[in-house]
Structures are given as structure tokens and as C-alpha cells.
């Protein structure tokens, strides 16, 4: 079994409220991450939050595992009145998406918004990417996205016009082949949902947040990206979270089937 619940110690006794819809946010493993920023913004806007994490992925990354991250994130969400559920899930496992939805529904109720921030991201290019790494990138970034969207569509039972699907993407490809290629597949899967799930009253959009430093950038990369951005700074998790918050709102319901650039005007040919 690659899905299990974390003990929710952040809000003992807290129960979901019918007045608060439920957002399922994937890839919320670290307090400084984009996923955590989105979860905080949605909680402040009146959503309950189920979120997934997979610490073994962080163990493989340079930044490592952040002890107590799930509890810290849960406490912040609870401060905004949200009922929460932290769910460990290895999204490389094709059975994990169904288990995630089962757990979220059992603990908090039906999911109204699916926000996908999870990823597999290991730098490698055309000549040095291994078959194992290529397959893992597509399993997590593309196949899991399809399976999560499929579960959402099969189970969605909220009022027509309230459903939301949002995925985070990237246009990085050079020296990052399996990540960029699998994110391209993620785009197509998510945008297909804008049409195929339209009878349910569900919108689906993709956001490219551009370079956001959540601990992975070197100083050279940081300076390189700042030079190519007209606004002269890097993006933040909050920048992405504000756009997700709008898309999940009633006012954002007319935005559908779009790949939205939220990158401060970054021009790759200028960096």
C-alpha cells in the first residue's frame, strides 16, 4: 500500500463544514513549496483542504525531507478555519489516485476542486536520461494526472459550475527532458478535461508559474531568471496561489481550457 493517512494533530476534533467546499491539493510536501502556498490561500478563502505528500521523493532531492511539515501546514490551514487531511501517496503507483480520493472523501467529504502541484523532477537531458527515470516522470507527472482527473470526474457530485481542475506545468525542456516532456503531456490531459467534463459543469486550466525558488535554485540560476523577468524578481508561491484562488472562485468560472502564464513576463530568449 502506497497511500496512508498522517495522524492529523493540527486540529483535533475539527470537522468539515457544509459551508466550506473541499479542495484536494497534491504535492504539498514542504512548508515553502508552491503546493503549501496554494493550500494556505484556499483555506483563507473558505475551503477545507485535503493534501498529499510523499516524503521519499524529498529524500532523493538536494533539500531533503522537512520533518514536521505536514503538521505545520495543517496547523496553518486550521488557523484559517479549514478541516484538513494529510495523505501520504506515491503517485507513481497507479492505485494511489483512487486511494487518495477514498481517504479524502472518508475524512472530509466530496472533492469540489482538484489542484495538482505534484511532480517528479530530476535534471537530465537527451543523452543521459535513463529509461527508469523517463518512465517515473511520466508515471507521476502524466499518468497520475490522468488518473486523478478521472477519479475526480467519476466522483464529482457538487453543483454544476462549481467544479475546478487546475494543474501546474512547466515549459522547461533543455537539460530537463523527462520533466518537460511529461509536463507537456500533463497539459494535454488537463485541457482535455475542460471539454470532456463540461457536462458536469467543471472547468479545467493549466498554470505555468515560471521559475519559483522553493530551495532548488543556485545563485547563478536565480540571477539568470531575474535578469530575464521584466519585473526584476522571481515568482513566489503566493503569486501562483492568488491565481489558483481566483480560478477556484465563482468569479473565475468563465476561465476554462486555458494554459495561463503566471511568470512575471519571463522571456526565455532574453535570459
For the question of residue 57 being annotated catalytic, the response is no
Tell me how far apart the alpha carbons of residues 78 and 49 are, in angstroms, rounded to a whole number. Answer: 9
Tell me how far apart the alpha carbons of residues 177 and 28 are, in angstroms, rounded to a whole number. Answer: 24
186-191 contact pairs (CB < 8 A, 24+): 186/116, 186/141, 186/142, 186/145, 187/259, 189/142, 189/145, 189/146, 189/149, 190/116, 190/145, 190/149, 190/165, 190/166, 191/257, 191/259
Cα 135 to Cα 6, 132, 159, 177: the distances in Å are 28, 5, 37, 12
Question: Catalytic residue among 73, 86, 179, 256, which?
Answer: 179
Active site residues: 179
Amino acid at each position: 500500500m502506497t497511500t496512508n493517512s498522517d495522524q492529523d494533530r493540527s486540529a483535533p476534533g475539527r470537522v468539515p463544514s457544509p459551508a466550506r467546499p473541499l479542495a484536494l491539493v497534491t504535492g504539498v510536501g514542504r512548508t515553502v513549496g508552491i503546493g503549501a502556498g496554494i493550500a494556505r490561500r484556499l483555506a483563507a478563502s473558505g475551503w477545507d483542504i485535503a493534501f498529499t505528500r510523499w516524503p521519499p521523493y524529498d529524500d532523493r532531492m538536494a533539500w531533503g525531507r522537512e520533518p514536521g511539515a505536514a503538521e505545520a501546514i495543517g496547523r496553518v490551514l486550521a488557523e484559517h478555519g479549514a478541516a484538513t487531511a494529510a495523505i501520504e501517496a506515491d503517485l507513481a503507483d497507479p492505485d494511489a489516485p483512487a486511494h487518495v480520493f477514498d481517504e479524502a472523501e472518508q475524512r472530509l467529504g466530496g472533492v469540489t476542486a482538484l489542484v495538482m502541484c505534484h511532480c517528479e523532477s530530476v535534471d537530465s537531458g537527451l543523452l543521459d536520461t535513463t529509461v527508469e527515470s523517463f518512465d517515473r516522470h511520466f508515471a507521476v507527472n502524466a499518468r497520475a494526472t490522468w488518473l486523478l482527473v478521472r477519479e475526480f470526474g467519476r466522483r464529482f457530485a457538487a453543483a454544476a459550475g462549481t467544479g475546478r481542475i487546475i494543474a501546474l506545468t512547466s515549459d522547461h525542456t533543455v537539460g530537463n527532458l523527462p520533466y518537460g516532456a511529461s509536463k507537456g503531456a500533463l497539459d494535454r490531459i488537463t485541457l482535455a478535461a475542460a471539454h470532456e467534463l463540461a457536462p458536469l459543469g467543471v472547468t479545467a486550466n493549466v498554470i505555468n508559474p515560471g521559475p519559483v525558488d522553493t530551495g532548488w535554485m543556485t545563485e547563478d540560476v536565480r540571477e539568470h531568471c531575474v535578469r530575464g523577468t521584466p519585473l526584476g524578481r522571481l515568482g513566489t508561491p503566493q503569486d501562483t496561489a492568488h491565481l489558483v484562488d481566483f480560478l477556484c472562485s465563482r468569479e473565475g468560472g468563465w476561465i476554462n481550457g486555458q494554459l495561463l502564464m503566471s511568470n512575471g513576463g519571463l522571456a526565455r530568449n532574453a535570459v
